Structure 1
Amino acid sequence: MKNATYSSFWRMHFYAALFITPLLITLTLSGIGYLFYTDVENHLYDDYFFGSSKKTETLTIDEGVQQAEAAFSSYTTTKIIELEEPYNTRLTMTNDKGDQRYLFLDENNQIVGHQDPTYTFSNVLRSLHSSLFLGGTIVNYLVELAACWAIFLLLSGLYMTFKGKVLKKAKQANKRQNNRRWHALIGTIITIPMIVLIFTGLPWSAFMGNFIYSASQANPSIGTPLLQQQPPTSDVSEIPWATRKEEAPTSSKHAHHGMGAVNVSRNPNQINVASLQQQIEANGITKPYSIIYPTSDDGVFTVAKSSNTGVTGLDVSPYEETTIYFDQYSGEFISKVSYDDYGILAKWFTWGIPLHEGHLFGWPNKLLNLVVCIAFLGVIFWGFRTWLLRKKKGLLSAPPQLSQKISIPLIIVIIILGIIMPLFGISLIIVALLELVMKIKRKNKPVVNDMN
C-alpha cells in the first residue's frame, strides 16, 4: 500500500497541512461570517439603512448630495447607491487622501447618518478574509497560496483515502484509526464542493485573479467585451467583475473648457443626478443600481447592476448584470454591456462569485456554504487529532520517506496543478530547492561512529 507514490503524497499532505492549517482556519471562519453579512448589517445598521431623519421637507437627490458635501466639506461624492425600498439611499464620499465615508439619505433625501467604511461588519470581514487586515502583495499572495495548497490537500487526501482503503472499517479500530476514518470520509464528501468554493474565490486573488482577468480581457469571445478609451473610475467595487477593469468610452468636451478633474461631482457643467436618473429609467434600469461619478473631465457616469458588489441590498441576479455609460455633460446614453455580452469565462465568474459569497440562490446557498465550511473545519480537526494520536513525544512524527525514487504520478499531478495555479507551481519550485539543499547537507554531514 505504502509505495513511493503514496509515501510522497502523504509527506507533502502532512507538511502542507502543518504549515497552512492556521491560515485555512482563519479564512474559513471569516468566510462563514461573511456569508451572513447582509443579515447582520440589516440589524446592526437598521437606523442607517431604514431609519428617517424626522425632517418632512423633501429635497431632490442633488440637494441631498449638496447637503452631505456641506456637512463633510473635505469630502466629495463619488458614488450614489439607489436601493429598493425600504432601504435608504447610500452615498460614498471620498477625500483627497482617499479616505471614504458612507452617508445615508432617507426617502426625502435628508441625512440620516454616516459611517466609516473601514469598520463596517462586511468590510472588516472582507479585509480579514482577503488580506488578514494587513494588505500588501506578499500577504495577498500568502492567502492565495493557502487556497492553492488547500486544493492539493483535498486531492492528495482523496488519493490516499482510496489507495489506503481508509474508509473500510476495521473490526477492532483504535482511536487513531477512527479519527483517520472520519478525516477521510468527510474530506471525500466535501472535496468537490470545497474546490468549487475555492476556485470561485480566485477572481479576487492577487496573482491568479489578475491572470484570469487579463485572459478574460485578451480574449473577448470567452471573456469580457471590448470598450474603448479611458478607465471609468478609480474605485469600482460596485461595478460587475466582468467590466470592473474595462476601458470605458469618453464624454464630449464641448461644455467644459478649462475644467479640471478635481471635485468632479461639483462640476457646474455636469448633468445633475435627477436628470441622469430620468435617462436611467428611460433605459429600463430599475433599482437597485449604483451611479459612479466620472473621475476626469472626459470621463463618463457609470451606472451598474452587479451580482457581486459586497454591498448590502445591492446584489442582483447574474442575468440582470449590466454596466451602462452616460455622457457626464449631456446625459446621453453612450454604450451598454450586459450579461448576454459576456464570454463564457466572464459568465462563469458572474455566477461563481455570488455562489462563493452565498447569495446566488438565497438561503439554501448560505446553508450549503455553511455546511461545507463547518465540514472542512471538521476535516482539519480530525486530521489534527489523528496526527496527535500517532505523534511521539518530542518528535514531529512526520510520515517516513520510504523510497528515494521520484514518484512519476506525483510529478504529473504537481505539474498539472502548477499550470492551473501558477503561484502553487512557483511555491513547489521553492520547496524543491529547499529539499535539494537539505539533501546535500545530509549527504555532506560526517558520519559519527557510535560503536565505542
Structure 2
Amino acid sequence: MKKGNYNRFWRWHFYAALFITPLLLTLTLSGIGYLFYTNVENQLYDDFFFGTSEKTEELTIDQGISNAENLHKGFSVSKVIVLDGSYNTRLTMSDENGEQKYVFLDDNYQIVGSQNAEKTFSNIMRNIHSSLLVGGAFVNYLVELAACWAIFLLLSGVYMTIKGKALKKKQNPTNRQINKKWHALLGSVIVIPMIVIIFTGLPWSAFMGNFIYSAAQENPSIGIPTLKQQPPTSDLSEVPWATRKNEAPSSNDAHAHHSNMSDGSGMTDESNMKVSVQQLMQKVEEAHISKPYSIVYPMSEDGVFTVSKGSNTGVTGLDVHPNDEMTTYFDQYSGKLISEVNYDDYGILAKWFTWGIPLHEGHLFGWPNKLINLVVCLAFVFVIIWGFKTWLSRKKAGQFSAPPRVASGVPIGFIALLIVLGIIMPLFGISLIFVVCIEGIMYLIKKQKTTSSTN
C-alpha cells in the first residue's frame, strides 16, 4: 500500500506538471519581469517621468488638463495621479471605446508627452501574468488553475522526497538520480516561500479572488468596512484592494453650490460646476493627505471625487506602505471631505491581503523583497527544468514512460489532502472532479482491454 501511495502521488504529480508547466513558466517569468517594472520604467520612460516641456509658461493643473484634452481629441481625463519627489503628474485619459492614454505634465503643468496605456512595460507584464495577453474568463480561470495545481505539485513533491529518500546519498549516482536529487532538494527548499507567493497573488484571481473579496465585503468585522451610501461609478482600479468595491458616499450638494462657484482662476467647470482639480488639491492638502495619491473623477451628477493612497496600485511611484493606505471621498461641487476609510478601519482579512499583495509584487520591504522573490522564482524555474530532465533520463525511446497506474485502493491521507486543497482552493476542487472522471474512464478502458484479451 505504501508503494502504491507513492506511485499515486508520483502519477498525479507527473501529469499535473506535464500539462501546466508551460503556464507555470510563463507566469513565473512574467512575474519576474513585473517584480522590477518600477526600475525598468524609471529608466525606459525617464523623459516622461522626469522630463520638462520646452514651454516654460506656468499653468494651473486645470489648464494643463484642458490642453491635454484639446491635444487628444475624443479623450477625456478620468484620473489624475499626483506623485512625490521629481516625478511628473500623470493623467489617465480614456475615449468612448475604452482606449487609454497616459499624459505627463511637468512642474508647470505643461505637456511633456503621452503613452499608449496598453504598451507600457508594467501593463504588458501584468497582462501576461494575469491573462496571457488574451484575457477572457476562460484564460483567467486557466491561470488561476495553474497556480492552484502548483500548490499540489509542491506538496506532493515534498511527500515523495521524504518517502522516496531522494536526498539520501548514493554511491556512483546515475544521471537520473542526480537530476532527481536537485529537483527534490530545490523543490523542498522553496515550498513554503513559493506557496506564500502563490497565495498572496490569489486575491487578484478570477474565481478565488472574487470569493475572498465577497467574504471580506459581507463580513466587515474581519474584512472591509462598508460606507453605506451610494456607490461611485468611477473606475476604481487604482484604489487599494481592500476598498476598490466599497460603497462610497454621494455628493449631496449637487446643485446647492452652483451660485457659489467662480469661473476665475479656480477653473471651475462651467457645464456642471464641479470643483476644479486645483481647488480639490487644496482641499486634499488641507486634509493633510500627502503625496503620492490618485484622484478618480466622479462619473455622475451625484458621484464623488475619490482620492486614495494604495499599496498595490501598479503605477510607478504611486505605491505607499500598507499602514498608509487610505481612501477619501470629496464632494464634487464643494470639495468638502465627506468621509474617509484607512488601514486601521480594515478587518483582519483585508489587512492580511493589504500586506500580502505588495509582498507578492516585491515592494513591501524594498530591494530585499525583490531579491527574495527573484531567488524563489528562479529556483522554481530550475525545479521545473530538473523535473523535465529527470523524466527524459528515464524515458524509453518511443514510449511515454508515465508513472505506473496503481491498482490498490486510495489511501485516506491522499483523499484528505485533496479535500483540504479543494476546500481552500475551490477551482482546484472543481478540477479534481474532472481528473477523477478521466482516471476512472482510463481505468475502465484498460480493464475492458484486459478482459477482452483474456477471453
Give the TM-score, by structure 1 length: 0.96
Residues 184-214 of structure 1, C-alpha deviation per residue, up to 9 Å, x if partnerless?
A: 0000100000000000000110000000000
- Which residue identity lines up with residue 380 of structure 2 in the other structure? F
Question: Partner of 1:104: helix, strand, or coil?
Answer: strand
TM-superposed CA distance for 1:238, in Å, is 1.2
TM-superposed CA distance for 1:440, in Å, is 2.5
After the TM superposition, which residues 159-198 of structure 1 pair with which residues of structure 2 at under 5 Å, given as runs? 159-198=159-198
Change (3 A) 1:399 1:254: closer
TM-superposed CA distance for 1:404, in Å, is 3.0
Question: 2:97: which partner in 1?
Answer: 97
Q: 2: distance between equivalents of 1:266 and 1:294?
A: 16
Question: 1:389: which partner in 2?
Answer: 393
Question: Partner of 1:55: helix, strand, or coil?
Answer: coil
After the TM superposition, which residues 2-401 of structure 1 pair with which residues of structure 2 at under 5 Å, given as runs? 3-255=3-255, 267-401=271-405
Change (3 A) 1:232 1:273: same
Which of the residues 417, 421, 425 maps onto 1:421? 425
Residues 326-380 of structure 1, C-alpha deviation per residue, up to 9 Å, x if partnerless?
A: 1111111111010001011111111111111111111111110000000000100
Change (3 A) 1:150 1:163: same
TM-superposed CA distance for 1:99, in Å, is 1.2
Q: 1: distance between equivalents of 2:15 and 2:252?
A: 59
Question: Partner of 2:104: helix, strand, or coil?
Answer: strand
The answer to whether the 8 Å contact 1:77/1:91 transfers is: yes
- Which residue identity lines up with residue 250 of structure 1 in the other structure? S
Greater mean deviation of Cα atoms: 166-175 or 385-394? 166-175
Question: Partner of 1:3: helix, strand, or coil?
Answer: helix
TM-superposed CA distance for 1:447, in Å, is 4.7
- Which residue identity lines up with residue 216 of structure 1 in the other structure? A
TM-superposed CA distance for 1:449, in Å, is 5.1
TM-superposed CA distance for 1:446, in Å, is 6.7
The answer to whether the 8 Å contact 2:269/2:276 transfers is: no
Residues 92-150 of structure 1, C-alpha deviation per residue, up to 9 Å, x if partnerless?
A: 01111111110000000000000000000000010000000100000000000000000
Change (3 A) 1:449 1:77: closer
The answer to whether the 8 Å contact 2:234/2:298 transfers is: no
Change (3 A) 1:363 1:233: farther
Q: 1: distance between equivalents of 2:336 and 2:98?
A: 29
- Which residue identity lines up with residue 101 of structure 1 in the other structure? K
- Which residue identity lines up with residue 311 of structure 2 in the other structure? S
The answer to whether the 8 Å contact 1:8/1:407 transfers is: no
- Which residue identity lines up with residue 305 of structure 2 in the other structure? F
The answer to whether the 8 Å contact 1:275/1:331 transfers is: yes
Question: Partner of 2:133: helix, strand, or coil?
Answer: coil
Greater mean deviation of Cα atoms: 302-311 or 64-73? 64-73
Q: 1: distance between equivalents of 2:389 and 2:205?
A: 31
Residues 126-176 of structure 1, C-alpha deviation per residue, up to 9 Å, x if partnerless?
A: 000000010000000000000000000000001111111111111221111
Q: 2: distance between equivalents of 1:100 and 1:198?
A: 30
- Which residue identity lines up with residue 182 of structure 1 in the other structure? W
TM-superposed CA distance for 1:439, in Å, is 2.2
Question: 2:264: which partner in 1?
Answer: none
The answer to whether the 8 Å contact 1:76/1:265 transfers is: no
Give the TM-score, by structure 2 length: 0.95
Residues 49-108 of structure 1, C-alpha deviation per residue, up to 9 Å, x if partnerless?
A: 000002111101111111111111211110000001210000001111111110000000
Q: Percent identity?
A: 65
Question: Partner of 2:98: helix, strand, or coil?
Answer: coil
Q: How many residues align?
A: 446
TM-superposed CA distance for 1:2, in Å, is 5.1
Greater mean deviation of Cα atoms: 238-247 or 165-174? 165-174
Residues 231-288 of structure 1, C-alpha deviation per residue, up to 9 Å, x if partnerless?
A: 3344222100000111111001441899xxxxx9875310011111111111110100
Residues 266-315 of structure 1, C-alpha deviation per residue, up to 9 Å, x if partnerless?
A: 75310011111111111110100000000111110000000000000000
Question: Partner of 2:80: helix, strand, or coil?
Answer: strand
The answer to whether the 8 Å contact 1:233/1:293 transfers is: no
- 1:443 equivalent to 2:443? Answer no
- Which residue identity lines up with residue 99 of structure 2 in the other structure? D
Gaps of 5+ in 1: 259-263
TM-superposed CA distance for 1:450, in Å, is 9.2
Question: 1:261: which partner in 2?
Answer: none
Question: Partner of 1:291: helix, strand, or coil?
Answer: strand
- Which residue identity lines up with residue 283 of structure 2 in the other structure? Q
